[in-house]
Structure 1
Amino acid sequence: MSFQALGHGITVIDTDFIRPGFDAAYLIVQDGRAAFIDCGVNHSVPRLLEALAAQGLGPEAVDWVIPTHVHLDHAGGAGLLMQQCPNATLLIHPRGARHMIDPTALVAGATAVYGAEEIARTYGQILPVPAARVREAGADETVQLAGRPLRIVDTPGHARHHFCVWDAASRGWFTGDTFGISYPECTGRGGRYLLPTTTPVQFEPEALHASVERLMAEAPVWMYVTHYGALGGSVEAVQALAVQQHAQIDQMVAAARAVQAAHPAPGPVRHQALRAACADIYVRAWQALGGPADPARIAEVLFNDIELNAQGLGVWLDRGTRA
């Protein structure tokens, strides 16, 4: 099944982006009203509506579509989903609103990273959302879903147009990419393995550290990550994941600076060195939790993330940003 109930009226939906267990959207239902947090890409929309129908609800019951940020694996299907949900308002970070209304620049930026052929194959046509149906969320604002408060908190570090959503009912954060990545395969005897995401082009380590701490200030029990699923189950389990996140951000920054010292000029040599440095950090961290003994298996699971994180670190180095 492409979706699973998590309790507290929350359903996790596999968007079928890239591979199973890679990219999630979340459905919250409260007293017959619904909200989607992140929505995958265009071909994900039927899955979202299927999960909604399983709750006995139609598209007219959706009050909110809430992408955590405008990267296409989180918001690529927003325009099509909004077409299907006539009563919904799209809630978005102020820095991202214009990209939902006119996705031209968003598509161009993604094309620069992935290439035009990949964008067309994976995402299809990114549809605009009418400006009248878009609402910008303040830096610390609460909206209501049938009386259930959903608090929006600005969380830069992965992207400047990123926010997270606090659900007091479940004591959980919908974290997008701020709290990192942990696929279902990322398990070991010591628990779930989590790694940061520095996907191009707005990685800022100081801001990411601060955003993680802002999330932890609520003593969350659950972290609903887009890649992938509900993590935690206790305050202590979430705290252990935050420790992993902070440690690896620092390790990646130190490794990137070491690579830059050895290879000052951007190019394929430096990029391959950044890839190797990222892979080494992730292999050691996952194996420390009792993960796969074979580094090649870890590199296989995390192939996309190693590549994109190396790209993001390269962009950060080229900006001359200081952690």
Structure 2
Amino acid sequence: MKTTIDFDHGITAIDTGFFRSQFDASHLIVHNGRAAFIDVGTNYSIPRLLDTLKAKGLSVDAVDWVILTHVHLDHAGGAGLAMQSFPTAKLVVHPRGARHMIDPSALIAGATAVYGAEEIARSYGTLVPVPAERVIEAPDGHVVDLAGRELLCLDTPGHARHHLCLYDATSRAFFTGDTFGLSYREFDTGNGAFILPTSTPVQFEPDALKASIARMLERKPQQMFLTHYSRVSDVSRLARDLYVQIDAMVAIAQKHAADADRHARIADDLAALFTARAQAHGCTFDPVQVGELLAMDIELNTQGLEVWLDKQRKP
């Protein structure tokens, strides 16, 4: 199966191989013979990045930048190994995420608490630290210069406080990580792409997430490149869909806040929400099929909503 998709303006989506086909993407931008990767997947993804470079006739020394939208492991777990593979590159990351790339011990501990040690080893491997001198912190407004092509970093909290999105004026596109939600190609219909938000633990903030989406829309992007999974257009409609679902997810969480079986009830209602919306979008999947395709996301969204609920209760 083909693992890359080439788009205009030197942009390529690389299937990192994480979890299932076309679930998790790294994006490569090539401009004037120089290269940048945006998100890299896990350690097990790095051979695919190297193969893509080779197929384009580029050496590892052509990579100037490895840019992380945030430090969740499906986006950044392979960053240390990537930096070993691209010896002249610099790593660009949100200021809140930089320390986790230099010393990933806290990141590993947090992920292990969610997934368990066995799953971390199986899915991500051993995280490799990045030398501090190769890490560039990117506050709001930071510009990455890729051989004369400017990539603007915007602070975009909501999914995580260590999240940035990159605006590329050349393609009039944002590289959105998880801030602009998830859009799996299996759900595409004649009505276009289907999208849903992600409230993955542990820093979901619904108002901040909606504000980050609105901030991106101010630049009137023509397309968005999502890590899960790659390019979508019809940006205004998809943004409206995200706003509606963020509010619906919050309402579900609040409805079950005091339930003894809170987790199960939130998960069931999320599955029903996403199934109804997918079917209204024209998807022919039944609830079981939707549940199978979105099982990981429903579970993580449930956890994220529960963490958010618990934070609301604290004085």
TM-score by length of 1: 0.95
Where does the alignment leave 5 or more consecutive residues of structure 2 unmatched? Answer: none
Identity of counterpart residues, as a percentage?
57
Tell me, in whole angstroms, the C-alpha distance in 1 between the residues paired with 2:97 and 2:205: 17
Alignment of 1:284-323 (within 5 A): 284-320=276-312
Alignment of 1:153-192 (within 5 A): 153-192=154-193
- Partner in structure 2 of residue 136 of structure 1: 137
- 3-state SS in 2 of match to 1:166: strand
CA deviations on 1:83-121 (whole Å, 9 max, x unpaired) are 011110000000000000000000000001101110011
Tell me, in whole angstroms, the C-alpha distance in 1 between the residues paired with 2:155 and 2:249: 23
Tell me, in whole angstroms, the C-alpha distance in 2 between the residues paired with 1:90 and 1:293: 40
For this pair of structures, how many residues does the alignment match?
Answer: 313
- Partner in structure 1 of residue 78 of structure 2: 77
Tell me, in whole angstroms, the C-alpha distance in 1 between the residues paired with 2:276 and 2:243: 15
Tell me, in whole angstroms, the C-alpha distance in 2 between the residues paired with 1:238 and 1:4: 20
The alignment's C-alpha RMSD in Å is 1.1
Alignment of 1:84-123 (within 5 A): 84-123=85-124
Letter of the aligned partner of 1:270 in structure 2? R
CA gap 1:63/1:294 in 2 versus in 1, 3 angstroms: same
CA gap 1:94/1:251 in 2 versus in 1, 3 angstroms: same
- Partner in structure 2 of residue 202 of structure 1: 203
Tell me, in whole angstroms, the C-alpha distance in 1 between the residues paired with 2:230 and 2:193: 11
Give the ranges of 4+ consecutive aligned residues of structure 1 lying more than 2 Å apart after TM superposition: none
- 3-state SS in 1 of match to 2:69: coil
- Partner in structure 1 of residue 262 of structure 2: 270
Where does the alignment leave 5 or more consecutive residues of structure 1 unmatched? Answer: none
Tell me, in whole angstroms, the C-alpha distance in 1 between the residues paired with 2:210 and 2:313: 15
Tell me, in whole angstroms, the C-alpha distance in 2 between the residues paired with 1:138 and 1:208: 18
- 3-state SS in 1 of match to 2:13: strand
